[in-house]
Structure 1
């Protein structure tokens, strides 16, 4: 992971790239949010300034935005969640530490600056390990991807369809949706979430295994059997 805060033009700043990386966001979405602030923030150029970076794969220049502490604070107001709060605090601490070192440097000798720089590097490495641990924990909490949700939904629908005996069965019209609802309820109960979309991304394989073992409850299975054993009267 890159440094959270760097020095640029004698000012402590961070970039839209680093914000996107740390908060697990799409960089284009971060740029979109920053552009949205232009309409309501009169001193936007005092907080943010445009720049470019070279993409490592195609070597083409792409847009990025640097921001100072106030600019970051304004942007991060929209980031929610317990982990997001912890990352906001780490950014603020990094800004404060960098700005403090800049002020102290004006009163220090070259030798003192060198010693302080080495100590800062040690401190940064220690903080970086903590941030990396937080990122690892955050990844555990990231919800299922769109593709993973699609695979899980298809499996649940297929299980429910098999349970009622297919579309041509007597139980299909009355109990197919009931079977799907019961199936999802058991998955959500297992992971203790309000919606299957809140299942952690890294638990996808577990969710698929659990879904694969699903069978309708005794009550539902009996009702399906009862309906499917009925002989439809010929008109």
Structure 2
């Protein structure tokens, strides 16, 4: 499996292919889910949000065919993934969101994002 989140144009993103792979869905189903979310966003007057968070791109398959995919920011990913509610999906959502945070911290040159355990230990040390 490829990395969950990468850097594109200086921004942390994932794509619809990765979402499909990780959540065990067909890519055309994920594309449909994204388009449905975008239609609802248009109805809500959120065209600008779509423009900044959902980028449709072309990619070439190993067989040489060209297809469409979406690049998703963390916000776009969160909107799409909200509809996936199986226990496995919940686990993957958390992993994606943690990876987004790690990549964003890397982009900002900040220190490593602490795990919950590391945060608790740091808090306990400060309390002592």
Q: Could you tell me the TM-score, scaled by structure 2's length?
A: 0.79
Q: Which residue of 1 aligns with 2:26?
A: 26
Give per-residue Cα distances to partners, 1:159-213, cap 9 Å, x unaligned.
xxxxxxxxxxxxxxxxxxxxxxxxxxxxxxxxxxxxxxxxxxxxxxxxxxxxxxx
Q: In structure 2, how many angstroms separate the alpha carbons of the residues matched to 1:16 and 1:39?
A: 17
Written as runs of structure 1 = structure 2, the 5 A alignment for 1:32-181 is 32-41=32-41, 42=46, 43-57=49-63, 59-104=64-109
- Alpha-carbon distance, 1:78 to partner: 0.3
Rg larger in structure: 1
Q: In structure 1, how many angstroms separate the alpha carbons of the residues matched to 2:105 and 2:21?
A: 25
Q: Moved runs in structure 1, 4+ residues, more than 6 A? A: none
Alignment RMSD (CA, Å): 1.3
- Alpha-carbon distance, 1:62 to partner: 0.5
Contact 1:16–1:65 under 8 Å retained in 2: yes
Contact 1:37–1:44 under 8 Å retained in 2: no
- Alpha-carbon distance, 1:81 to partner: 1.4
- Alpha-carbon distance, 1:45 to partner: 1.5
SS of residue in 1 equivalent to 2:58 = strand
Q: In structure 1, how many angstroms separate the alpha carbons of the residues matched to 2:60 and 2:39?
A: 28
- Alpha-carbon distance, 1:92 to partner: 0.1
- Alpha-carbon distance, 1:84 to partner: 0.8
> Which moves more between the two structures, 46-55 or 84-93?
46-55
Q: Which residue of 2 aligns with 1:5?
A: 5
Q: What are structure 2's unaligned runs of at least 5 residues?
A: 113-128
Q: Which residue of 1 aligns with 2:126?
A: none
Q: Could you tell me the TM-score, scaled by structure 1's length?
A: 0.43
Q: In structure 1, how many angstroms separate the alpha carbons of the residues matched to 2:25 and 2:40?
A: 23
- Alpha-carbon distance, 1:46 to partner: 1.6
Q: Which residue of 2 aligns with 1:16?
A: 16
Residues matched between the structures, number? 105
- Alpha-carbon distance, 1:52 to partner: 1.1
Q: In structure 2, how many angstroms separate the alpha carbons of the residues matched to 1:6 and 1:81?
A: 25
Q: In structure 2, how many angstroms separate the alpha carbons of the residues matched to 1:55 and 1:40?
A: 30
Relative to its length, the structure with more strand (as a share) is 2
